[in-house]
Amino acid sequence: MRRLSALCILLAVASPLAAQAPSDSAIFATIKGRVDAGRFAGIAVGVVGKGGAQRTVAYGPSAGVTPFDGSTVFEIGSLTKTVTAAILADMVAKGEVTLDDPVSKFLPAGTVVPSKDGRVITLLDLSTQSSGLPRMPSNFAPKDPANPYADYTTQQMYDFLKTYQLPRGVGEKYEYTNLGVGLLGHALALRAGKSYEALVTERVLKPLGMKDTRITLTASMQKRLAPGHGPDGAVVRNWDLPAFAGAGALRSTISDMLRYIRANADSTSRPLGAVLATTHSERRPAGSPSLTIGLNWHRVKTPGGTTLVWHNGGTGGYRTFAGYSEATGEGVVVLANTANSVDEIGFNLLDPTMPLPPLPKVRKEVTLSPDVLARYVGTFNFTPAFALVITRDGAQLYAQATDQPRFALFAEKEDEFFLKVVDAQVSFTKDSTGAVTGLVLHQNGGHGPAKKK
């Protein structure tokens, strides 16, 4: 699962909502351009219009599965978090839990959950990303980086919780955390006395008729699964998340996710509209003046005053987006089987006045020797609190911004590198002796200098 900011070091939001989503031909042109440019293996888009009318547009001639359409299966990553919120809301409505229940109440006897100044972590804290828990536990050390969550156990999660000290008060600050929502899904499953997948199926999937949304794929779904691709276009492994199922384990299709977003966008829909509506209400701030959070759903208010309810997701080979407009009830789902952000497409479809950035320049990768790459290794500070750490693993250079995942850097020529996961470039600067002294990050039209520590 990836950060909410869709892997961008800089996050751009919003402008006023237009009255109508683009036509099918306009959507097709948007996704075809990105696929043909090599940014994606395939992209599928679903739109729910006013009154609930649905349409699907897909393009992926080299996506690795045929047909590539509304029935194609994708890993949906952190969109699973919103389904976990739906389970929570349903259990609250049925009186099985309350939002103010401590999560420890539903864990095995003797399980220690960190607290701060007498304040314990509640189900509400977990579902509003404000528990104080980190994005990932420090004892997360995958044996297989290609399937990193597969060997992480609930016992390891308990062991981490027992020793972790919260850096601030519970509920004090928003911090996006896969650990927190993974713990929430686990606790709800224990309360219900069944697996997370069985609970999701009973409370959300069956009521909404979502027959192609599962963790464990049916034989039919396996045949329709689009293989995931990394940012460089190479096919990658699918992910398994046994301990963190509630944070990102579901697989689904455009057809099923349209049922889901339509039910979320219409509080009068049966059987779950009223329950799902309780997950959208603003609960807490979420890190910027225009962004708040409900129960796992994020809410962004545009300068024109329109509110979009949304979430995104990603695994090693997939990126996803789902959202709707509170003003119109129109909804959008975007699923791609490449690990490049589709957020810009989703926001543009919800609000066509939010322009799509131009397609990234096609960049040609060159090979540099490990000795040359080693010159760039180090920590580069933009501010005292924000840095870009450059590391090398053999013939591959990596960049990791403060509190963000690590991404590969690819050489375009000596001293100039680019990322494939987002449209961003890094230029290294040198002194008169040839020693690397800093870098400049080029992204979203900005050029941010950083000095080597």
pLDDT tens for the 453 residues of the chain, in order: 543 443 233 233 333 333 466 899 999 999 999 999 889 999 999 999 988 899 999 999 999 999 999 999 999 999 999 999 999 999 999 999 999 999 999 999 999 999 999 999 999 999 999 999 999 999 999 999 999 999 999 999 999 999 999 999 999 999 999 999 999 999 999 999 999 999 999 999 999 999 999 999 999 999 999 999 998 899 999 999 999 999 999 999 999 999 999 999 999 999 999 999 999 999 999 988 999 999 999 999 876 678 999 999 999 999 999 999 999 999 999 999 999 999 999 999 998 777 788 887 888 899 999 999 999 999 999 999 999 999 999 999 999 999 888 889 999 999 999 998 778 999 999 999 999 999 999 997 899 999 999
Ordered by where they begin, the domains of the chain are 24-350 (3.40.710.10), 370-452 (2.40.128.50)
- Residues 6 or more apart whose CB falls under 8 angstroms from that of 12 comprise 444
Contact 113, 104 (CB under 8 A): yes
The DSSP secondary-structure symbol of 300 reads E
pLDDT in tens, 128-167: 999 999 999 999 999 999 999 999 999 999 999 999 999 9
pLDDT in tens, 409-421: 999 999 999 998 7
- CA 264, 268, 269, 272 torsion: positive or negative? positive
CA dihedral 201, 203, 204, 208 (to 10 degrees): 100
Closest CA relative to residue 153, chosen from 250, 248, 245, 251: 245
**CA–CA distance, 158 with 179 (Å, rounded to integer):** 11
Query: What mean pLDDT value characterizes the chain?
Result: 93
Place of tokens 């349209």: 258
Work out the burial of residue 151: count CB atoms within 10 Å of its CB; fewer than 13 is exposed, 13-18 middle, 19 or more buried. Answer: middle
Does the pTM of the predicted model rise above 0.75? yes
Beta bridge partners of 345: none
**CA–CA distance, 435 with 60 (Å, rounded to integer):** 45
